[in-house]
Each structure stands twice: as C-alpha cells, then as structure tokens.
Structure 1
Amino acid sequence: MAILKTYARLWVDDLDASLPSLRALVGAEPDLRFAFDSIELAAIGDFLVIAGPPEERARYAHASATVIVDDLDAVVAGLTAAGGEVTTPEATSPTGRFLYARHAGGAEVEYVEWVPELVDRVTDSLRSAALCTC
C-alpha cells in the first residue's frame, strides 16, 4: 500500500469565493472539483476545500485529513491489524472508493482510492510540477 497524496482540509462557506486566494497561494488551478451529496469539493495543491452549509459540512468534520492511497483494502487490513477500526463503511464518490477509519491512537482519517484516470491525471501533474525549474 502506498500513499499517493495527503490533503489538509479547509472548511469554507463558499467554494468560488475561496479559490482565487488559493490559486494565488499554490500557483495552480484545482486538480479536481466536484459535488458530493450537498457539499462541493475542490482539491488544489495540498488542500481539499470543502464547502456547503455548516450542518452538511459537519457530517464530514470528524476526519482530520484526506489521504489518497493506491489500495483501500490494504489500508483497512493494516489499520485493523494495528487496532484501528473503520468508522464509516466504504462508499463511492465521483473520485473513487472511500471510507473513514479511526487509528488506534484516536485520529480519524478519510482514506480514498481514486479511479485510475484520476490517479494518472493528478500524479502526472505532480510529477511535472516536481520536475519544473520555473
């Protein structure tokens, strides 16, 4: 199992209002943007921006980070073997499979296994940025 990317979560009321300053800060456009249930999300740089009504955002606020992995099943096996537990069962979103898990020490994290097309697009973008001598 490998971690492909980790996102810090930013909770906002309005996604469109928050993106201009983040574009300037990270020097890039969002890697992805989509709606899920009644919230909107955008991944830009190392931020996952989560927007929507406070009561809807609260449904997802128990996780401290979003971690993109290449094998969700391996994550579950490793976490449970180390005393962790799945707190929100696996489900799907436009980006792939995800679940929430609590580690033995108490931290709760959202783990996502992206669809292959998204892995290719975002990791190619990350590799290009790392090679840039701008």
Structure 2
Amino acid sequence: MAILKTYARLWSEDLDRALPPLVELVGEDPHLRFEFGEVELGAVGDFLVIAGPADAAAKLPKATTTVIVSDLGEVGTVLASHGAEVTFGPVQGPTGSYLFARHADGSEVEYVQWKPELEARIIR
C-alpha cells in the first residue's frame, strides 16, 4: 500500500471564486472538478476545495485531509491495527472508493482509492 497524494481540504461557498488564486499560486489548472450531491469539488496542486452552501457542507463527514492511496482495503487493515475507527464507508464515489476514519488520537481523515484511469492521469 502506498500513499499517492495528500490534499489540504479547503471549504468555500463558491468554487469559482476559490480556485483562481490557487491556480495562480500553484501554476497549473485544476486536475479535478465535479459535483457530489449538493457540493462541488475542485482540486489543484495539493488543494481540494469543497464548495457549497453551509448547510450542505454540514451534512458531510468532516476530515482534516484527503489521502489518495493505492489500496483502500489495506489502509483499513493498518488503521484498525492502530485503533482507528471507520466512521463512513467504504463506498463508491465519482473518483473511486473512499472511507472516512477517526484515528485513535481523534483526527479524522478521508482515504480514497482512485479509479485506475484517474490515478494514471494525475499520478505520473
């Protein structure tokens, strides 16, 4: 199992306003942009922006970061061996399989195993 990418999660009410400064700072265009329920997500560099109305964001599981991994099943095994609790998932989403876990220290993390074509396009 490998960690392929880690995103800092940013919350916004307007993705179109949130992305331009990140695009300029990172020096590249967003490599992901999609709708997920009532929110829209965009990723540029190592930032993942989750945008939508506050009430929609409040319904989503909270996490401090999103971690892209090569094997979600193995992640679950490692987390359990260290006292973590899976709080949501694993389930399928627009980009692949994902779960949310609360680590033994209380931190909450989203782990995602991308679909192969997405991994091939973004992870070089």
TM range (shorter): over 0.9
What is the identity percentage for the equivalent residue pairs of Structure 1 and Structure 2? 56
Alpha carbons 2:61, 2:100 under 8 Å: kept: no
1:39 corresponding residue in structure 2: 39
Runs of 4+ in 1 over 6 A off after TM superposition: none
Question: How far is the alpha carbon of 1:75 from its aligned partner?
Answer: 0.5
What is the alpha-carbon distance in structure 2 between the residues aligned to residue 59 and residue 5 of structure 1? 25
Q: How does 1:103-114 map to 2 (within 5 A)?
A: 103-114=103-114
TM-score, normalised relative to structure 1: 0.89
RMSD in angstroms over aligned alpha carbons? 0.9
The CA deviation string for residues 48-85 of structure 1, in whole angstroms up to 9 with x for no partner, is 00000111112336211000000000000010111111
The structure whose Rg is larger is: 1
Task: Note if 1:30 corresponds to 2:30.
Answer: yes
Q: Looking at secondary structure, tell me which structure has more helix per residue.
A: 1
TM-score, normalised relative to structure 2: 0.96
1:76 corresponding residue in structure 2: 76
Unmatched segments (≥5 aa) in structure 1 = 125-134
Unmatched segments (≥5 aa) in structure 2 = none
Secondary structure of the corresponding residue to residue 111 of structure 1: strand
State the one-letter code of the partner of 1:95: T
What is the alpha-carbon distance in structure 2 between the residues aligned to residue 53 and residue 21 of structure 1? 20
The count of aligned residue pairs is 124
- Cα separation, partners in 2 of 1:61 and 1:73, compared to 1, 3 Å: closer
The CA deviation string for residues 74-110 of structure 1, in whole angstroms up to 9 with x for no partner, is 0000101111110012111110000100111111100
